[in-house]
Chains A and B, each alone.
Chain A
């Protein structure tokens, strides 16, 4: 291995033991790695540039702004004046839930300010994420297993599964708002008079149900694609060996589908942590359904720099979650998690 490039870690340790190099056969020579590196740089360049322009530039400019104060009102003229440098104040205000005091300095944010909602929004976001991603994974896996079987009408089921996901979110949210109306169809079917958007847990469940309905197909499709790569012969062989259905699932399906599954869960988690439209349209963030993204957009309307700080904090929270995923739960696509199962074949 070429080692002259300094201390940057070449590879993080794999989840399940020693780092596995999925190197092409017969590696080892320096120049081969170098030529591969050159190849890789050309292959990766378009992706990196696209991301740099549209994502990294806005992120950097948001981070720069997050260290500026928001404009304040000049009482004499009634006009806003630029706030100047804020240092870490915006960040401190969010995390410690401090708001500007009329007499100068800061006080604990009174209820009704955005500043007072940071931790509750964080909690809400995590509650939504854990529940929806769990439900979607379990249901998506189950749907994918069914769709992978051969039976009459399979293509009908595959088409049906696409429907919830193909409906634009803007329409989905209105549809569920309509379904969860007090005099709507949900209450009629269950012969109930639940105020779906009127109190905490019904409102949260409304969001969770709508989100699960909409995004389970995403999970199901990704897992199905993972299932389809598994050669049928592997199952046949296992059947011949007398493996039970559960054994086949645990010993073959799960390990072989794990890479696809982990990618699906990882990206669903990142998306769920940034959940915005569904709760925004369904509940407007009332009854403890304000997610971090809703808090961001509400804050954008009150002052962009504080919103930029909140976005950056959200970014770090999500980064942390992703890191834990990759580091500890094996959601690492370059490490060959399916390697052992494959090796047995």
Chain B
């Protein structure tokens, strides 16, 4: 029998593929437990890399330059990721799965902490490498904690605030019901009343959780089990659904992300807006802004008093695969230090994690919304802290979106959410 010679290359390729496949060895699943060795490299010192998403506020390079000047033997290199949270997340996951020792210190979004910790990718910050968090705002520390262990140090925070037209509304509403009553003012002026961000994306999870938390409910209970079958949760989601159906939230808000909602407010088409602090400087400075001197901020309205904002922001964690953990620990302490937090706030308008800075006169002069933001963050509830966050946020987004559009009753939406989250946790 003759050998089909032309098939040789094919066969070679096939064998090559199989060999490579064996080398890759299923590690691609990234599901192996335990991650790296948390005890290794604890005393290691040397040059490290700091990984963070796009440095919009231009603070990271100067911060690192200062560190490098003081630590010539433990220089930090900045690896800048893209501007998109999803891509940052996926990039980190790929590098952790590949056990990359070059991603030493990573910036962790508050909602990723539990997932990374449970995968065993983040160095627990305890015992030898414990970090003092007593001066920090408690919600920011909670968001960096998983199962009672701190896995990252908070470095910048964020919370939702209520922007309102001070030329039309003399005193801001304290509760949701008050705000809804003030919608008559919006009608008189022929503008929309209130909006947050209701497009089906992460921002909807933020807004829906805020509504549920502000009404006294919660998405997950203390054990991480869903608790959406409560009257409080129902009341919270119903507030949004009702506002949509009676027009207090304009119908186009179903397509809003942060920027669309800011634009609606900034062009004078909204009386109230839920947004992050970033909008403040843009709305008071942009050329096209029609509300430059006409708006002010207040804490989000709740059931009887200030509402519960969803917490934003990032923490700095150390990869378990890092070889120079001693340097890394010093570096994250430096990021969270008072000196640097002040620099972050002044230079980059980033919300500090240290409580006392919110009362610093110089800072308040620069960022007039700080006192309001302090209330917001102090009352903030971290978005659900769960290693199954991607599934949980999916469940919240999809079902609350259907409810807001009136395709599903509030009860049905909450019960579907509850079941979806239960199912995510059950996957084993």
Contacts and interface: CB of A to CB of B under 8 A. Distances in A.
A298 B200 CA distance: 14
Interface stretch (B9-17, B59-67, B232-240): B9-17
A276 to B, nearest CB: 13
A83 B428 contact: yes
Contacts of B6: 37-38, 40-42, 44
A205 to B, nearest CB: 15
Contacts of A197: 199, 255
B44 interface: no
Interface in A91-130: 99-104, 107, 109-115
B252 A198 contact: yes
B72 interface: no
A283 B257 CA distance: 11
Nearest to A65: B29
Interface residues of A, number: 72
A42 B427 CA distance: 49
Contacts, number: 199
Contact of B21 (A64, A83, A115, A301): A64
Interface stretch (A69-77, A152-160, A263-271): A69-77
Contacts of A71: 29, 31-33, 119
Interface in B391-428: 391, 394-396, 398-399, 401-402, 405, 416-417, 419-420, 422-428
Q: Which of B21, B398, B427 has the most CB of A within 10 A?
A: B427
User: Which DSSP category, helix, strand, loop or mixed, fits chain B's interface?
Assistant: helix
A284 to B, nearest CB: 5
A286 B8 CA distance: 48
Contacts of A52: 13-14, 16-17
Contacts of A79: 33-34, 118-120
A18 interface: no
B383 to A, nearest CB: 16
A338 interface: no
B387 interface: yes
Nearest to A37: B6
Interface string B1-41: 11011111110111011101100101011111110000000
Q: Which of A61, A65, A99 has the most CB of B within 10 A?
A: A61
A271 B166 CA distance: 52
Given A286-B401, A302-B391, A37 B9 contact: no
Nearest to A183: B263
Contacts of A60: 17-18, 21
Contacts of A88: none
A193 interface: yes
A80 B252 contact: no
B424 A80 contact: no
A224 to B, nearest CB: 34
Contacts of B402: 111
A61 B390 contact: no
A108 B38 CA distance: 40
B174 interface: no
B334 interface: no
B31 A304 contact: yes
A72 B390 contact: no
Contacts of B5: 34, 37-38, 41
Contacts of A81: 33
Interface string B329-361: 000000000000000000000000000000000
Given A79-B118, A284-B200, A100 B26 contact: no
A181 interface: yes
A182 B13 contact: no
B153 to A, nearest CB: 20
A240 interface: no
Q: How large is the interface on B (under 10, 10 to 19, 20 to 34, 35 or more residues)?
A: 35 or more
B9 A64 contact: no
Interface in A18-57: 34, 37-38, 40-42, 44-45, 48-49, 51-53, 56-57
A195 B18 contact: no
A200 B427 CA distance: 31
Nearest to A68: B29
Contacts of A218: none
Interface string B162-173: 000000000000
A196 interface: yes
Given A48-B10, A79-B120, A182-B260, A113 B29 contact: no
Interface string B148-186: 000000000000000000000000000000000000000
A72 B89 contact: no
A12 interface: no
Contacts of B294: none
A57 B13 CA distance: 10
Contact of A64 (B10, B26, B263, B399): B26
A111 B4 contact: no
B201 interface: yes
Contacts of B34: 79
A5 interface: yes
B251 interface: yes
B5 to A, nearest CB: 5
24 contacts: A34-B2, A37-B4, A38-B5, A48-B9, A49-B9, A51-B13, A57-B16, A71-B31, A71-B33, A71-B119, A79-B34, A100-B426, A111-B416, A112-B398, A114-B394, A196-B255, A198-B251, A286-B199, A286-B401, A287-B200, A302-B388, A302-B390, A302-B391, A303-B427
Interface of A: 2, 4-5, 34, 37-38, 40-42, 44-45, 48-49, 51-53, 56-57, 60-62, 64-65, 68-74, 78-83, 99-104, 107, 109-115, 181-183, 193, 195-199, 283-287, 298, 300-305, 308
Interface of B: 1-2, 4-10, 12-14, 16-18, 20-21, 24, 26, 28-34, 86, 89-90, 93, 117-120, 146-147, 199-201, 251-252, 254-255, 260, 263, 387-388, 390-391, 394-396, 398-399, 401-402, 405, 416-417, 419-420, 422-428
